Chain A
Amino acid sequence: MLFVYQLATSRTDRRNKLSSQFFKEVEGGSYEGVITTFTYAEYLAVMKETLSKRLGAQLSHTQIETLKNEFESFVDKQGIEVLDADDLSSGVGRCEIFGWSSQVVERTGTVQGADRRWRTVGGADAIHVVLANRAGAELLATFDEGFKVVNELANLGWSLKPLIIPEVYRA
């Protein structure tokens, strides 16, 4: 979740540094950024829980609006395209997202991360993968090494590849 690390961690945090490197490349035009409304929903969910834990209270409407506005403002200034996840998940009169997500899960294996743990893409990850592919994205930027299995989707004819941030950038 690059947006959370970028907006909500200290500049001295390693992940903040790495995400900043990536976003600077987006800013410079090396990458054309595309996100969906599902990305936004995930950002908001993580931020709500994290902030609520810190405050020890439920967030107010104003606080939630602040989180939303900061995200939207950043995305807008960064020139990132926002697509409607509903549009991407529907065929002609039929929702196709879950069928393809199942295909993603079935057709991919597992990978061992730098921490020696075995990972793969889960249900929500698979939805991100399908949406990214449908959006025409070539790379899926993430910190999660589990997304390496996306390389295996070439046998479906997909050109989507993972961009594992800690492997591409160094803090």
Chain B
Amino acid sequence: MGLNEEACRLPDELRAHQYYPVEKGNEDSNLAETVLVERIPQRRRIPAKPFENALRLRRTIPIVSRDPHLSFYLSGLYVQRLTIPRCPLRRLRPSHRAIKGTTDEYAGRLLSLFPELADVEHGEIERTLARMRCKEELEP
């Protein structure tokens, strides 16, 4: 009996699905699955029984947690001094030499992009900022 013939006699649930990527007429891959299934020994079912601690864990003396004084934890015997090196700060933009003329280029620059800001005075900005910083005494 050829392998293909044996495969053809597999129960339907073990046969390759029609979309399973195997060559047409070659279902050898299913044989491996079949053998694997057959060789796995069926485990004997163990009836459930209530869990019980091992004998040496069953104590008559209640377990009392030891709560040492705080100084014990800080003592050299208990902990070693651990020094965590200070990590360098993450610079989202590093400092570098400025491009000459930037200050003049950007002075009032938003006014050209938003003409509505043309008559904004510093007093209005100051009041907005003060309100945002909860300095209510500056409110008019």
Minimal beta-carbon separation of A63 from chain B (angstroms): 8
Interface size bucket, B side? 35 or more
Residues of A within 8 A of B97 (CB): 29, 79
Report which of B102, B120, B133 forms a contact with A78, defined as CB distance below 8 A. Answer: B102
- Do A79 and B98 contact each other (CB < 8 Å), given the known contacts A9-B120, A9-B121, A84-B90? yes
Per-residue CB contact flags for chain B residues 61-94 toward chain A (1 = under 8 Å, else 0) read: 0000000000000000000000010000111111
A20 touches B122 (CB 8 A): no
Number of CB contacts from chain A to chain B under 8 A? 146
State whether A7 touches B109 (Cβ < 8 A): yes
Inter-subunit contact A125/B133 (CB<8 Å): yes
A16 to chain B, nearest CB (A): 6
Q: With an 8 A cutoff between CB atoms, is A96 at the interface?
A: no
For chain A, which range describes its interface: under 10, 10 to 19, 20 to 34, or 35 or more residues? Answer: 35 or more
**Whole-angstrom distance between the Cβ of B99 and the nearest chain A Cβ:** 5
Interface set, chain A 1-53, CB cutoff 8 A to B? 1, 4-11, 13-16, 20, 23-24, 26-29, 32-34, 37, 42, 45-47, 49-51
Q: Which residue of A lies closest to B105 (CB)?
A: A77
Q: Is B118 an interface residue (CB 8 A)?
A: yes
A contacts, CB < 8 Å to B = 1, 4-11, 13-16, 20, 23-24, 26-29, 32-34, 37, 42, 45-47, 49-51, 54-55, 63, 66-67, 70, 73-84, 87-88, 92, 117, 119, 122-125, 135, 143, 146
